[in-house]
Amino acid sequence: MLRKVISVLSFVFLVSFLPTAANAGVPDWFRALAQQPAKTYADDANAVVLLDDHETTVKDSGEIVIHERIVYRILRPEGKSYARYPVYFDSETKANSFRGWSITAKGLEYEAKEKDAFERSLGGQQEFADTKEKVIALPGADVGTVVGFEYEQKRRPYLFQDYWDFQSVIPVEKSRYTLHMPSRWEYRADWLNHAEQKPAEQNGALVWEVSDVPRIEREYHEPDFRALVGRMIVTLFSDKTSHRNSESWNDLGIWYSRLTAGVRDPSPELQAKVRELAPASLPIFERIRALSLFAQRDVRYYAIEIGIGGFRPHPAGEIFSHRYGDCKDKATVLSSMLAQIGVKSYYMVIHDTRGIFTEKTPPNAHFNHVILVIQMPDASFSQKLPALFEHPKLGHLLIFDPTNDLVPLGQLPPYEQDSFGLLVTDSGGELIHLPVTTPDLNQIHRNAKLTLLPDGTLQGEIEEVRSGYLAMLGREYLQHQTQNDRKKMLEHFWGPNLGGFQIDTFNLENENDIDKDLVLRYKFTASHYAKSAGPLLLVRPRVVGEMAGAFDVTKPRHYAYEFDAPFLRSDSVEITLPEGYSVDELPEPAKAIFPFAEYTSKAEKDGNILKYSRQYRMQTTQVPVERIEQLRKLFAQIGTDEKNMAVLKKAN
């Protein structure tokens, strides 16, 4: 018998993911929407939501059925992606009756049914989850086409809340939320980033509706999109205790505390490791540090989330044995280890993006991260730790994120500073404001000793010392690169500012010792750095570093401007002048002082040395929109100072 010969590529071509689209059975409600007159929007609005009709039906059993219709008009080529719509499903969530339709600008109609959808698993490279999505990609995806989708989702939620997201990156003409509840159920509606509206009663259901909701626009360093959008959180209660787990932060704390009961029980191997890593002979802080470092570095990040595993950590013994886990697993294994040395710790559930949870956020579980709060024994630490706060009942609490292996015990990653997290205690939970560091704790200081040659070549050494979150960013950027790549990265980074820039030698100090400042030293040569102009030599004393942030002055600003964390950046540059040259003119000093930041600089002559120093101190994580004009001025002044040149003149 002849064996089949096949090229695999032909298989690839067999996979055409667009639906075959049977004869279009476009429903009247959809056709009516498509035929309504098109409104005018900004020329960079990619699409518009014509209708988002979200209907939630709560059953007495606790099952929640979502029925949604959503219709878009594609306004720009970039909006064609709206012709592709995903519906999520997993072991606890079923997606049914999924359909879609499109009507092109020329009136051609298409329909796609559930059988036309394709499925795929969700999750990235370092995770496995049982979550999937069904996706319908509609034909006719062109500018002017109206696309619509309808589906039903049955959920058996762990937490009894529903979300109505009525604002997006595109305008929304109409969004409606309808709630059907059994008689013994109650609800609470909380509004975020939008004025509260009262529902109308229609046939026993509650209906909320908003119209002409503007889009959220993209701006440089704006707060996270999710911190800006209008949404309504519906919390559902019934007289059954298990259905009252989201009413308050305390309820959520109790729920999580119960969910995680027992997972921190140690295994004998874990206990043995604690004895090895943190012997009683060490001071208590060093013992805590040793165990923290273990959780950071020796437990590799890999998330396995099946069913309730999205919330519940794996048992500490299992995590320890495998030496991998996700954020809550890392927190769990560390908590278990700390308990072995008599140190109590608590889960803190947070979002890894600042601004999504604020002091005004109603109780809800849209967190995505778990860290640990360590109850520090009295006299266990001698210095003021940036991540420490005093709790009225629990005393000294040190917040620590074992998932981030670049931030040492005692500090917080910048994205968690000034944020809010749910502290889960044995008796419940409370929303806690996470501390913010001061600028002095987050520094970059550059010290440059340089020599200028008569042909304009600049050479010498720069030492850059980074602390706090700026050390974290430096490590993130450089730590895991090869020496060759580091060199290329530095040349790429500084090259545009420094003419023919080449790194001669460089070294990185303390790259793995996260408790110490990160020190980068490099010797370089930059040909053509100073520009010759007849008898003059023009030299920019600032040399390296651009401190002004990105800012679009052509459009009005809508939102606050975000910084990672407060910081202090300073430069100290000494340039030895070529023989025979003297300073003829120096740039004016800069001084820009605002309530949230200040920038100063000074250039001076000291014999045959040109000295330049500057300091930029940012006091806050966010400049509110009311002060944006001041921020613009600050950036403009920094930009001007950075371009300024000194004029050197050759003696006759």
Partner 1 sequence: MGLFDDEKGGRPSFASPFIPAAAPRAELSVPGYSFKGNQRLWSNRLPCYIVCKQFPPLNCAEVLAVNPVRLLFSVVLLAVFIVPAQAQKEDWQPITQHDLEMKQVPGNPGADAVQLYYADFIDDQEQTEFFYVRIKVLNEKGKSHADVELVVPPEGSISGLKARTIQPDGRITEFTGKPFQKTVIKARGVKVLAKAFTMPEVNVGSIIEYKYKVGWPWIITDNYWTIQHELYTVKESFRMKPYSGGLEGFESGYQVATLYSHMPNNIKPVEKSGGYELEVESMPAFESEGYMPPEEDLKPQMRFFYVGPASSTPDKFWQEAGRKWNDEAERFIGNRKEISQAAAQAIGNETDPGQKLRKLYARAQQIRNLSYERERTEQEQKKEKLKLNQNAGDVLARGAGYRDDITRLFVALARSAGFEASIVRISDRKNKFFDKGLLSMRQLDGEIAVVNQAGNDIYLDPGTKFCPYGYLRWTRTSTMGIKLNKKGGVFVTAPAAGYDKAMTRRSAAMALDADGNLTGTVTVKFEGGDALEHRLDELNADDAGRKKDLEDELQGWLPTGAIIKMTQGEGWETSDGPLTVAFSVDMPGYASAAGKRFLLPTYLFQARQMDAFKHVDRKFPVYFPYAFAEVDRVDIKVPDGYTLENIPQAQTARLSYAAYQNLAQFDGKQLITQRILQVNGIFFKLDLYPEVKDFFGKVQAGDEQQAVLIGGGVNAQKSN
The pair of structure tokens assigned to 143 is 């500018």
Cα distance between residue 298 and residue 27, in whole Å: 57
Give the nearest distance from C-beta 498 to partner 1 in angstroms: 10
Give the nearest distance from C-beta 390 to partner 1 in angstroms: 26
Nearer to partner 1, 369 or 569 (CB): 369
The pair of structure tokens assigned to 410 is 């005692």
The distance from CA 146 to its chain's CA centroid, rounded to whole angstroms, is 33
Cα distance between residue 138 and residue 24, in whole Å: 12
Nearer to partner 1, 213 or 376 (CB): 213
Nearer to partner 1, 580 or 639 (CB): 639
Nearer to partner 1, 118 or 389 (CB): 118
Angle at 157 between CA 156 and CA 163, to 5 degrees: 120
The pair phi, psi for residue 169, each rounded to 5°, is -80, -5
Contact between 573 and 541 (Cβ < 8 Å)? yes
The pair of structure tokens assigned to 508 is 């990185």
Cα distance between residue 590 and residue 273, in whole Å: 56
Nearer to partner 1, 14 or 280 (CB): 14
- Which residue type occupies 398? L
Nearer to partner 1, 240 or 480 (CB): 480
Which of 649, 369, 397 is CA-nearest to residue 537? 649
Which of 300, 569, 299, 284 is CA-nearest to residue 439? 569
The pair of structure tokens assigned to 219 is 């701006």
Nearer to partner 1, 199 or 499 (CB): 499
Q: Is 474 in a helix, a strand, or coil? A: helix
Nearer to partner 1, 284 or 407 (CB): 407
The number of beta carbons lying within 10 Å of the beta carbon of residue 130 is: 17
Give the nearest distance from C-beta 343 to partner 1 in angstroms: 23
Give the nearest distance from C-beta 297 to partner 1 in angstroms: 7
Give the nearest distance from C-beta 270 to partner 1 in angstroms: 13
Give the nearest distance from C-beta 350 to partner 1 in angstroms: 9
Angle at 611 between CA 609 and CA 614, to 5 degrees: 170
The number of beta carbons lying within 10 Å of the beta carbon of residue 53 is: 17
Give the nearest distance from C-beta 90 to partner 1 in angstroms: 6
Cα distance between residue 133 and residue 142, in whole Å: 24
Give the nearest distance from C-beta 74 to partner 1 in angstroms: 11
Give the nearest distance from C-beta 119 to partner 1 in angstroms: 4
Give the nearest distance from C-beta 283 to partner 1 in angstroms: 26
Please list the alpha-helical segments (H only) found in 247-326: 249-259, 268-277, 284-293, 316-322
Nearer to partner 1, 124 or 392 (CB): 124
Cα distance between residue 31 and residue 639, in whole Å: 54
Residue with token string 């719509």: 85
Nearer to partner 1, 338 or 537 (CB): 537
What are the CA-CA distances from residue 155 to residues 64, 96, 134 (Å)? 5, 11, 15
Give the nearest distance from C-beta 302 to partner 1 in angstroms: 5
The number of beta carbons lying within 10 Å of the beta carbon of residue 272 is: 12
Which of 529, 546, 545 is CA-nearest to residue 648? 529
Nearer to partner 1, 487 or 523 (CB): 487
